[in-house]
Structure 1
Amino acid sequence: MDTLQIISYTGVFVFAVTGVLKARTKRFDIFGAVVLAFVTAYGGGTIRDLLIGVRPVNWVNDNLALVIVVLSTIITFFFKLNTTLIKKSIFWVDAFGIGLFTIVGIQVALRAGISNGYALVMGIITATFGGLLADVLCNKVPSILKPGELYATACLLGGGLYLVMLNYHLQSETSMIISILVIASIRIFAIRKKLQLPII
């Protein structure tokens, strides 16, 4: 298993946990929680693969993917948190999750022969569209569309930095870690300082 796969599966676990925590706020049953965990973890990657023509999509024939989603649901099920702690947990887990998935999305696109600019777009889609689909299923306004979130913006800046570091031939693992931390930091800082893009 290479570094990209480790980061990918870590991202799957992190986003699956986010999905289960969201399901808990809506009082879903265990099956609903598994569905939401799967959508959150694999929705963005599925859309990315369909757009760039990767067949089969990333989770098909990947038994470990299903195991991770189910395990994340079971583990999260046994941690009973109050609503405030759930919201804080979603925020912290999600901040690092979008960092992990941005880098995974960029790498998958680059390996498929996609140009740097569109690889960055695929990284943003990978990181954000799973959460978008999960929010829609929960009947919520997706975080990516809310002012004061800098959700996709964090992915854009961190992903752009990652591509710059790749062009300067920095060590791949180091570039990945730095970019993930930058994305998570921007997201956390934006929420704490209530930063937002101009509103139309």
Structure 2
Amino acid sequence: MNFLSVITYSGIFIFALTGAFKARTYRMDIFGATVLAFVTAYGGGTLRDLLIGIRPVNWVNDNIALVLVLSSTTITFLFKLDYRKFRRTILITDALGLGLFTVAGIEKSLLSGINEFYAVAMGVITATFGGLLADILCNSVPNLLKRGELYATACAIGGIVYVALKHTSLTNNINLLICIALIALIRFVSKWKRVTLPEI
């Protein structure tokens, strides 16, 4: 298992955990929570694979990823983890998940022959569209579209920096870590300092 696989699986577990937390907030049963965890973890990557023509899509025949999703749901329900008590934890896991999935999406796109500009776009889609689909299923306004949320913007900035650093002498693993840390930092600062994009 290479470093990119570790990053991908870490992102899957973190986003699945975020989806399971969200399901608990909406008082879903364990089946509903599993669906929401799955959508949160795989929605963006599935859309990316469909757009760039990867067949089968990333989660088909991946037993490790399926176990991670089921584990996140089980942990949330066995320990009765409450979204309201863990908001700060969820912000941290979500920010790290954004970074992990942005990097994974960019790398998988580049390996499929997509140019760097569109690879960054695919990284943003990978990181954000699972959460968007989960929010839609919960009948709530997606974080991606909320005012005051530097969500996709954080992914785009981190992705651009990541692609730019690929042309330097830095090792790829260091570059990956820089991108993840940068996206998480932008997300934290935007929440803490209430940094927003201009209104239309």
TM-score, normalised with respect to structure 1: 0.97
1:80 corresponds to which residue?
80
1:198 corresponds to which residue?
198
2:64 is aligned with 1:32 = no
1:147 corresponds to which residue?
147
Q: What are the within-5 Å matches in structure 2 for residues 121-200 of structure 1? A: 121-200=121-200
Distance 1:44 1:70 in 2: 18
2:4 is aligned with 1:10 = no
* Change in CA separation of 1:4 and 1:83 when aligned onto 2, cut-off 3 Å: closer
**CA-to-partner distance for each residue in 1:69-103, whole Å, 9 max, x for gaps?**
00111112223344432332321110110000000
1:89 corresponds to which residue?
89
Query: How far 1:187 sits from its partner (Å)?
Result: 0.3
**CA-to-partner distance for each residue in 1:134-168, whole Å, 9 max, x for gaps?**
00001110001011110001001111111011111
Q: CA RMSD for the aligned pairs?
A: 1.0
1:53 corresponds to which residue?
53
Larger mean CA deviation between 138-147 and 80-89 belongs to 80-89
Question: Which structure 1 segments of 5+ residues have no match?
Answer: none
Question: What letter is aligned with 1:74?
Answer: T
Question: What letter is aligned with 1:144?
Answer: L
Distance 2:7 2:83 in 1: 29
1:151–1:187 contact (8 Å) kept in structure 2 = yes
Q: What are the within-5 Å matches in structure 2 for residues 99-110 of structure 1? A: 99-110=99-110
Distance 2:23 2:93 in 1: 15
Query: How far 1:171 sits from its partner (Å)?
Result: 0.3
Distance 1:83 1:3 in 2: 31
1:148–1:196 contact (8 Å) kept in structure 2 = yes
Find runs of 4+ consecutive structure 1 residues off by over 4 angstroms: none
Query: How far 1:50 sits from its partner (Å)?
Result: 0.1
TM-score, normalised with respect to structure 2: 0.97
**CA-to-partner distance for each residue in 1:40-85, whole Å, 9 max, x for gaps?**
0000000000000000000001111111100111112223344432
Question: What letter is aligned with 1:70?
Answer: L
**CA-to-partner distance for each residue in 1:156-199, whole Å, 9 max, x for gaps?**
11111110111114101100011100000100100111110001
Count the aligned residue pairs: 200
Larger mean CA deviation between 168-177 and 39-48 belongs to 168-177
1:63 corresponds to which residue?
63
